[in-house]
């Protein structure tokens, strides 16, 4: 028993020491500053957004669905690894305290996330439903308890071998959550409390009785899904080795590959095109940042705010796209290719130019009036020009 808890402690520590390393890297980059600026703009426009939001906005339903989803997703962090399939499998019987700690730990972490999300939504909450539903703190406590129930239930639930039945349980739990939360946010706290009590009884009568061994493969999958988001974010700032990204073919975009003709000089154009569209999150990040940039340019109605947003989002985008360069550094094969100098750099710059022109055009268009269009165009284009013609060549000659 002692052994198992030492294992738990060391696993937890191992995770946190890597997490802190990544967090420090993220903190040291310009990213936090960008977030801070967005936060300033965001808080100003939040108030105006609430004023603009129509009276008949279904706030109760909105809160119900958001928090039902947050509460229902399983996410017990067990810190299990692929190799545990071999090494811990024989210990399953003795692992109970380990998993109990996992659930407790996850509960703490998830409560933190729920609190954060609730604070972000707090103005909306007090503006629309606060009076009926009761004080913030009480609701938070309720949400936390509900999350605890979900974590405990989801852990028992993962023993179900059959994939369809397992999935059905997840959905049923979501609806139970939604029902309880609807009562809570509608201002029927006693009714919500009674139904939550009912849910607790169901846990003891039903979930605790689920038979079956642990589904290790599934536990590993849940664990991976839970940390993937974090690693993915960290991966934008540094190379995260344990992040195995799945490949998405995106066949509808395959016409883009035709821009690259068959030639020795185009080897890296060929490779980067596929890396950008299929692997990791390059394409998703590009689309999201472009979309967010448009939203912010549309929302901010100060001229200087607009070009600042344009430059900011272009900078965030190009920072991430630049990492394409390292994408193939883990493979030995390109090193062996008989290629002329700078093929890699030229390939990278080719795509950065195309992505840049596209994004700058979209931002310019979003700015609307002529004067703002010109300043947004100049600001965003300046960012790309700086990176493409100054930063990348310089970095290359240095390394």
Partner 1 sequence: MERLLELEHVDGGYQRTRPVLHDISFNVNRHEIVGLIGLNGAGKSTTIKHILGLMEPHRGTIKVDGQTIAGSPDAYRRQLAYIPETPLLYEELTLWEHLEVTAMAYSISEEDFQNRAEELLKEFRMTKMKNWFPDHFSKGMRQKVMIMSAFLLEPKLYIADEPFVGLDPVGIKSFLERMQEMRDQGCGILMSTHILSTAEKYCDRFVFLDQGRVLMQGTLLELQEQAGMPGADLDDIYVAVTEEDTHE
Residue number, 23 or 267, with CB nearest to partner 1: 267
Tell me how far, at minimum, the Cβ of 264 lies from partner 1, in Å: 5
Residue number, 190 or 340, with CB nearest to partner 1: 340
Residue number, 121 or 339, with CB nearest to partner 1: 339
Q: Are 72 and 174 in contact (CB under 8 A)?
A: yes
Render the burial of 313-337: b for 16+ CB within 10 Å, e for the rest: bbbbbbbbbbbbbebbeeeeeeeee
Q: Which residues contact 376 (CB under 8 A, 6 or more apart)?
A: 297, 306, 307, 310, 363, 364, 366, 367
Q: Are 105 and 147 in contact (CB under 8 A)?
A: no
Question: Could you tell me how far CA 379 lies from the centroid of its own chain?
Answer: 28
Residue number, 131 or 332, with CB nearest to partner 1: 332
Tell me how far, at minimum, the Cβ of 40 lies from partner 1, in Å: 38
Tell me how far, at minimum, the Cβ of 349 lies from partner 1, in Å: 19
CA distance 188 to 139: 12
Could you give the count of Cα atoms lying within 13 Å of 128 in the half-sphere of its Cβ?
22
Tell me how far, at minimum, the Cβ of 376 lies from partner 1, in Å: 33
Tell me how far, at minimum, the Cβ of 260 lies from partner 1, in Å: 9
Orientation angle between helical segments 216-235 and 2-28, nearest 10 degrees: 20
Tell me how far, at minimum, the Cβ of 359 lies from partner 1, in Å: 22
Length in residues, the chain: 399
Tell me how far, at minimum, the Cβ of 102 lies from partner 1, in Å: 30
Residue number, 115 or 331, with CB nearest to partner 1: 331
Q: Which residues contact 50 (CB under 8 A, 6 or more apart)?
A: 123, 124, 127
CA distance 170 to 172: 6
CA distance 296 to 305: 9
Residue number, 238 or 266, with CB nearest to partner 1: 266
Where does this chain bind partner 1 (CB under 8 A)?
Answer: 245-247, 249, 262-264, 266-267, 270-271, 274-275, 278-279, 328, 331-340
Residue number, 334 or 368, with CB nearest to partner 1: 334
């Amino acid at each position: 028993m002692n052994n198992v808890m030492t294992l738990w402690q060391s696993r937890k520590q191992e995770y946190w020491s890597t997490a802190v390393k990544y967090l420090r890297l993220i903190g040291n980059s310009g990213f936090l500053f960008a977030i801070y600026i967005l936060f300033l703009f965001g808080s100003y426009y939040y108030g105006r957004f609430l004023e603009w939001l129509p009276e008949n906005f279904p706030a109760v339903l909105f809160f119900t669905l958001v928090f039902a989803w947050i509460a229902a997703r399983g996410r017990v962090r067990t810190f299990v690894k692929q190799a545990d399939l071999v090494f811990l499998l024989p210990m399953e019987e003795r692992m109970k305290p380990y998993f109990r700690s996992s659930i407790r730990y996850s509960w703490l972490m998830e409560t933190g996330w729920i609190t954060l999300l609730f604070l972000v939504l707090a103005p909306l909450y007090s503006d629309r439903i606060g009076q009926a539903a009761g004080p913030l703190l009480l609701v938070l406590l309720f949400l936390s308890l509900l999350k605890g129930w979900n974590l405990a239930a989801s852990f028992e639930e993962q023993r179900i071998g059959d994939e369809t039945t397992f999935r059905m349980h997840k959905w049923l739990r979501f609806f139970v959550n939604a029902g309880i939360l609807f009562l809570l946010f509608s201002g029927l706290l006693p009714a919500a409390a009674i139904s939550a009590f009912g849910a607790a009884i169901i846990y003891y009568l039903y979930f605790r009785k689920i038979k079956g061994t642990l589904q290790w493969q599934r536990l590993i999958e849940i664990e991976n899904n839970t940390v993937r988001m974090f690693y993915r974010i960290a991966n934008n700032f540094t190379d995260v080795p344990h992040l195995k990204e799945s490949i998405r073919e995106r066949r509808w975009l395959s016409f883009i590959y035709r821009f690259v003709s068959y030639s020795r000089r185009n080897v890296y154009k060929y490779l980067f095109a596929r890396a950008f569209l299929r692997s990791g999150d390059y394409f998703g990040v590009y689309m999201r940042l472009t979309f967010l940039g448009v939203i912010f340019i549309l929302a901010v109605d100060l001229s200087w705010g607009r070009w600042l947003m344009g430059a900011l989002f272009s900078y965030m985008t190009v920072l991430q796209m630049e990492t394409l360069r390292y994408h193939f550094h883990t493979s030995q094969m390109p090193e062996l290719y008989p290629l002329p100098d700078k093929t890699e750099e030229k390939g990278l710059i080719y795509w950065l130019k195309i992505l840049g022109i596209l994004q700058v055009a979209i931002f310019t268009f979003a700015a609307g009036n002529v004067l703002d269009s010109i300043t947004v165009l100049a600001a965003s284009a300046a960012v790309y020009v700086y990176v493409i013609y100054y930063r990348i060549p310089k970095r290359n000659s240095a390394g």
